[in-house]
């Protein structure tokens, strides 16, 4: 992971600072990593308030003339060379073109191509700390750590919930969202606390909040953004593999290009559905 960050930073001219284990401990005393570890600090990195971002996109879409039908699940869709037809639990819609962005349900809507997509249960948790002042956003960073037990990431303390953290990947791959256990179990907390005990022992307070989310995975963990192989009037985006939201704006631009013109000038070769055979 560190080598990949360094290579990406060099390719895209991003300022990063290498940190030895000692340097990491001096800069961020809350961390406990031994001399077998190194770090990379990117000061311009940050995070997104996801719900606010979604609301902003939706409000701007409505301002520009879109109509949003929320809480209306799609039952089926079909297409021919003249039109597309979408059946929901409430209505039947026809249009000239269709964009499919169904998240974990994309496998169900992509019919014969669903075999490329899997889903994975992911749990995020918020813990109390011994001293929140050590974990304020102006003194403690966002982080992701590559450990023998997997990748773990976390945030500074942003509100009364405490310090948010989770394991990235590491759970079984399943075939459909209906297989996801939405309850929180003791093993979820123990997995998180094992990492915290070893590397962030001052985050040892009660678990104040926990939530289950879903990753939709492709075999190579890269996105699918393409025209449907059987229907050139259907664009699709799926399989964002736990790291897609930050690209939502440019993915939207690509999908608009595909829907309006059947092509895009942006480089999406690595995201074509056909790469899976």
Q: SS3 for 120? A: strand
pLDDT classification of 254: cutoffs 50, 70, 90: very high
What are the DSSP calls for 220-234, one per residue? TS--EEEEETTEEEE
The pLDDT of residue 94 is above 80: yes
> For the residues 199-210, what does the mean pLDDT come to?
97
pLDDT of residue 116: 86
pLDDT of residue 269: 96
The residue written with tokens 């953290």 in the block is 165
pLDDT of residue 113: 65
The pLDDT of residue 115 is above 80: no
Contact (CB, 8 A) for 31 and 139: no
pLDDT classification of 277: cutoffs 50, 70, 90: confident
Q: Which domains does the chain have, with CATH numbers?
A: 1-45 (no CATH), 50-117+220-276 (3.50.50.60)
Q: Which of 174, 131, 172, 168 is nearest to 151 (CA)?
A: 168
pLDDT of residue 236: 95
The pLDDT of residue 37 is above 90: yes
pLDDT of residue 108: 85
> For the residues 183-193, what does the mean pLDDT come to?
96
Question: Residue 50: CB partners within 8 Å, gap ≥ 6?
Answer: 245
Count of other CB atoms within 10 angstroms of residue 229? 14
pLDDT of residue 235: 97
The pLDDT of residue 82 is above 70: yes
Q: pLDDT tens for residues 224-250?
A: 999 999 999 999 999 999 999 999 999
Task: Tell me the chain's radius of gyration from C-alpha atoms.
Answer: 21
Tokens of 121: 């249960």
Rounded CA-CA distance 76/2 in Å is 43
> For the residues 101-121, what does the mean pLDDT come to?
86
pLDDT of residue 110: 83
Please state, rounded to an integer, the average pLDDT across all residues of the chain. Answer: 95
In order of 42, 45, 46, 104, 168, the CA distances from 5 in angstroms are: 10, 12, 15, 28, 16
pLDDT classification of 22: cutoffs 50, 70, 90: very high
pLDDT classification of 12: cutoffs 50, 70, 90: very high
The pLDDT of residue 111 is above 80: no
Rounded CA-CA distance 115/146 in Å is 29
Q: Which of 15, 65, 17 is nearest to 39 (CA)?
A: 17
pLDDT of residue 89: 97
The residue written with tokens 């031994």 in the block is 34
pLDDT classification of 114: cutoffs 50, 70, 90: low
Q: pLDDT tens for residues 138-171?
A: 999 999 999 999 999 999 999 999 999 999 999 9
- The torsion angle over the Cα atoms of residues 17, 19, 23 and 26, rounded to 10 degrees, is 60
pLDDT of residue 109: 83
């Amino acid at each position: 992971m560190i080598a990949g960050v360094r290579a990406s930073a060099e390719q895209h001219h991003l300022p990063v600072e290498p940190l030895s284990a000692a340097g990491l401990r001096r800069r961020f005393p809350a961390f406990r990593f031994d001399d077998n570890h190194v770090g990379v600090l990117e000061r311009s990195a940050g995070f997104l308030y996801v719900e606010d971002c979604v609301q902003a996109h939706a409000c701007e879409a409505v301002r520009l003339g879109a109509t949003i039908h929320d809480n209306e699940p799609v039952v089926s869709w079909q297409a021919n060379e003249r039109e597309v037809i979408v059946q929901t639990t409430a209505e039947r819609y026809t249009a000239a073109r269709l964009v499919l962005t169904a998240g974990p349900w994309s496998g169900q809507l992509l019919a014969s191509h669903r075999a490329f997509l899997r889903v994975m249960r992911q749990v995020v948790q918020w813990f109390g700390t011994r001293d929140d002042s050590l974990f304020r956003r102006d003194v403690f960073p966002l982080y992701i750590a590559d450990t023998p037990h997997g990748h773990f990431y976390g945030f500074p303390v942003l509100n009364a919930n405490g310090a948010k953290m989770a394991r990235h990947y590491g759970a079984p791959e399943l075939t459909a969202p209906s297989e996801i256990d939405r309850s929180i179990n003791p093993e979820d907390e123990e997995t998180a606390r094992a990492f915290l005990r070893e590397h962030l022992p001052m985050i040892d307070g009660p678990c104040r909040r926990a939530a289950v989310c879903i990753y939709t995975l492709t075999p190579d963990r890269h996105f699918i953004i393409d025209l449907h192989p059987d229907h050139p009037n259907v664009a699709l985006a799926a399989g964002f593999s736990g790291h897609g939201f930050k690209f939502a704006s440019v993915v939207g631009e690509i999908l608009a290009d595909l829907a309006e013109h059947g092509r895009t000038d942006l480089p999406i070769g690595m995201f074509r559905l056909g790469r899976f055979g």
